[in-house]
Amino acid sequence: MNETFLPGPIPVVDIFAGPGGLSEGFASLTYPQHGQAFRICVSIEKDVDAHRTLLLRSFFRQFAVEDVPEEYYQYLRGEIDRDTLFEHYPEQAASAAAEACHLELGKDTREEARRMIEEAKGAADIWVLIGGPPCQAYSIAGRSRMRGKVAADQKKFEEDERHYLYREYLRIIAHHWPAAFVMENVKGLLSSKISDQKIFHKMLADLEAPADAVAEYDSVSKGGRSFKYRIFSLVKPASPIADLDPEDTIIKSEDYGIPQARHRVILLGIRSDLLPITPDILRKKQEVPVSKSISGLPKLRSGLTRVKDSPEAWLKTLCSVTDRKWLAEFGNNGHSSLHEKILSTIGELSLPRYDLGGEFLESAIDVGCYRDWYLDSRIGGVCNHSARYHMRKDLFRYMFAACYAEVYKRSPRLCNFPRELLPEHENAKGAVKQRHGMFADRFRVQLRDRPATTVTSHLRKDGHYFIHYDPCQCRSFTVREAARVQTFPDNYYFEGNRTSQYQQVGNAVPPLLARQIADIVYRALRKAVEQKK
């Protein structure tokens, strides 16, 4: 039986867009019989560099895949600057600028955002809102930091505006009434509380009746329209009972073919006049190990800090491990396999052809999964692939940890490290004694045969949680490797300095997961429209 499709792509508004992971997933969804399912009509982001990334990607999407101009790839290779690129294609650049908006949502910009959304979506009644409020106040680590800063003032903690950023999302729902919305946030949202009330339960109630919730602090429902929403899980079939088990809102990305164990709360809301329908759920897929996503990228070395760096100095530093007292002690204390692995690794060390990497490397590129998604031969190499600089002692730790993972098939905890390699930090001492806690795995190797652990914005600070599994590279992940783990295509370029690039990648939703969610949303809206005919 032939499937029926909605006329034209469905408009999408993306707020708190970050670098555009959700947008990329929705925009990339096509059907052979129909073409593009969704069209990003506006994306809003306050961060300067993330907005620049959004703008460039929006420019890219102004062209059919086969018609992307050569100048775009020249820009990726650093052969022309951004202004020159946009000057060559002023019409597409203007369309991209109209879509990707640099704006901080809040009291002072609500009217501007409201007009922007109305103009972008036009008269469409079937359209989708996507995005999620910033999550610092909901993450476990974030809540800990916030409490520490205001421990003497609990009221100040509870009134922190980041708890209420979702109200801006809620206001947009209550003023514009999307047919569906997709809202993403950290798993810590489920346990976050204010005044002994769980934020998640309050948030669900608000999202189910946006006009009632927003009426407490804003005027809504111009034109007399007012709807309710039903919130659905994307991983468990809907039951006749409207109550939603909070645990059923958690999506474990590794279960759906993403090379990363990223666990996030993602909600799907459907407008009441389109019910009753039962959306599909995500279909489980085979796990994808991290090595399949990044092994085809050029090998690099790490840089050295606090000394004069050179390829030869790097190699000499690592080879000096053979003279370290801790290595001999490990060989005599029941760790002969690890001792041998470290020695064999040192024997295999060589200077990588691409040294520290760079913002563009002309090189052969490959990938072990989703080749059609990741690869773009027109790039002529790889972007955003430069290695960090590390202290000499960190290089020893990275080599030890990577070799340990190769031998024991798990990342070492601090209690497994030689005493000489332990950080000089009080938290480290406690972690060694207790063998658990957040600091116990301060140096975490990504296991080559398993999905990576969660890529977070912490990567902008250091790479200790993302040590490369190859002990011969002895470094942490590059931005491109983190982007591959997050399933961004290789032609998705991240703007800004490297610190900003890491933050953008860590804050994003994996586009390949977003595309699967987009398919569920499209099919649900198609059912709803068909049943109303």
**Domain that residue 305 falls in:** 290-507
Q: Tell me: do 273 and 222 sit in the same domain.
A: yes
Q: Residue 133's pLDDT is what?
A: 82
Contact 3, 491 (CB under 8 A): no
Q: How does residue 137 score in pLDDT terms, banded at 50, 70 and 90?
A: low
- Structurally, the chain folds into a number of domains equal to 2
pLDDT digits 0-9 by tens, 55-96? 999 999 999 999 999 999 999 999 999 999 999 999 999 999
Is the preceding omega at residue 412 within 30 degrees of 0, hence cis?
no
CA–CA separation, 168 vs 11, rounded Å? 20
Query: What separation, in Å, do the N-terminal and C-terminal C-alpha atoms of the chain show?
Result: 19
CA–CA separation, 64 vs 467, rounded Å? 38
Q: Residue 439's pLDDT is what?
A: 60
Residue 65 lies in a domain: no
Q: What is the DSSP string of 79-130?
A: SS-HHHHHHH-HHHHHHHHHHEEE---SGGGHHHHHHHHHHHHTT-SS-EEE
Q: Which has the closest alpha carbon to 29: 524, 531, 530, 522? A: 522
Q: Tell me: do 493 and 399 sit in the same domain.
A: yes
DSSP annotation of 231 reads E
Contact 143, 492 (CB under 8 A): no
Contact 169, 131 (CB under 8 A): yes
Q: Which has the closest alpha carbon to 166: 131, 141, 209, 120? A: 131
DSSP annotation of 227 reads -
CA–CA separation, 71 vs 76, rounded Å? 9
In this prediction the pTM is 0.93
CA–CA separation, 92 vs 178, rounded Å? 27
Q: Tell me: do 144 and 177 sit in the same domain.
A: yes
Residue 87 lies in a domain: no
Six-digit token string for 404? 């340990």
Cβ-count burial of 161 within 10 angstroms (0-12 exposed, 13-18 middle, 19+ buried)? exposed
- Asked if pLDDT for residue 285 goes beyond 80, the answer is yes
pLDDT digits 0-9 by tens, 325-357? 889 887 777 788 999 999 999 999 999 999 999
Q: Tell me: do 230 and 345 sit in the same domain.
A: no
* Residue 467 three-state SS: strand
With a CB cutoff of 8 Å and minimum separation 6, the contacts of 284 are 255, 256
Q: Tell me: do 259 and 355 sit in the same domain.
A: no
Q: Residue 265's pLDDT is what?
A: 95
Radius of gyration of the chain (CA): 25
- Asked if pLDDT for residue 156 goes beyond 70, the answer is no
- Asked if pLDDT for residue 140 goes beyond 50, the answer is no
| Phi, psi dihedral angles at 506 (to 5 degrees) | -65, -30
Q: What is the DSSP string of 23-50?
A: HHHHHH-EETTTEE-EEEEEEEE--HHH
Buried b (16+ CB within 10 A) or exposed e, 62-74: beeeeebbebbbb
Q: Tell me: do 274 and 419 sit in the same domain.
A: no
- Asked if pLDDT for residue 173 goes beyond 70, the answer is yes
In the numeric block, the tokens 């610190």 are attached to: 499
Averaged pLDDT of the chain: 89
- Asked if pLDDT for residue 145 goes beyond 60, the answer is no
Q: Which of 137-146, 296-305, 427-436, 482-491 has the lowest mean pLDDT?
A: 137-146
Q: How does residue 210 score in pLDDT terms, banded at 50, 70 and 90?
A: very high
Residue 85 lies in a domain: no
Six-digit token string for 209? 């009746």
Q: Which has the closest alpha carbon to 482: 401, 378, 404, 386? A: 386
Residue 78 lies in a domain: no
Q: Which of 164-173, 340-349, 498-507 has the lowest mean pLDDT?
A: 164-173
For the segment 468-492, the average pLDDT, to the nearest whole number, is 97
Top pLDDT among 204 and 437 is at: 204
Q: Tell me: do 282 and 339 sit in the same domain.
A: no
Q: Residue 154's pLDDT is what?
A: 52
Contact 360, 275 (CB under 8 A): no
Contact 336, 329 (CB under 8 A): no
Q: Tell me: do 412 and 297 sit in the same domain.
A: yes
Provide the angle, in degrees to the nearest 10, between the axes of the packed helices 48-61 and 90-99: 130
Q: Residue 445's pLDDT is what?
A: 97
Q: Residue 27's pLDDT is what?
A: 98
Six-digit token string for 45? 């982001």
With a CB cutoff of 8 Å and minimum separation 6, the contacts of 407 are 337, 338, 341
Q: Tell me: do 300 and 395 sit in the same domain.
A: yes
Q: Residue 502's pLDDT is what?
A: 97
Residue 411 lies in a domain: yes
Q: Residue 244's pLDDT is what?
A: 84
Percent of the chain with pLDDT over 90: 73
CA–CA separation, 60 vs 350, rounded Å? 38
Residue 2 lies in a domain: no
Residue 448 lies in a domain: yes
- Asked if pLDDT for residue 152 goes beyond 50, the answer is no
Stretch (H or E) spanning 176: helix 166-176
Within a 10 A sphere around the Cβ of 336, how many other Cβ atoms?
A: 12
Contact 14, 55 (CB under 8 A): no
Six-digit token string for 162? 């980041």
In the numeric block, the tokens 């005027």 are attached to: 219
**Residue 52 identity:** R
Within a 10 A sphere around the Cβ of 419, how many other Cβ atoms?
A: 9
In the numeric block, the tokens 């041998």 are attached to: 340
Q: Residue 108's pLDDT is what?
A: 87
Beta bridge partners of 362: 381
Stretch (H or E) spanning 222: none
CATH of the domain at 219: 3.40.50
Q: Residue 435's pLDDT is what?
A: 53
Stretch (H or E) spanning 323: none
CA–CA separation, 468 vs 448, rounded Å? 9
Residue 245 lies in a domain: yes
- Asked if pLDDT for residue 242 goes beyond 80, the answer is no
Q: Tell me: do 386 and 461 sit in the same domain.
A: yes
Top pLDDT among 363 and 244 is at: 363
Percent of the chain with pLDDT over 70: 89
Q: Tell me: do 368 and 502 sit in the same domain.
A: yes
Q: Residue 6's pLDDT is what?
A: 85
Q: Tell me: do 314 and 385 sit in the same domain.
A: yes
Q: How does residue 198 score in pLDDT terms, banded at 50, 70 and 90?
A: confident
Provide the angle, in degrees to the nearest 10, between the axes of the packed helices 392-408 and 311-319: 60
Q: Residue 160's pLDDT is what?
A: 55
CA–CA separation, 124 vs 90, rounded Å? 27
Q: Which has the closest alpha carbon to 173: 216, 223, 208, 145? A: 208
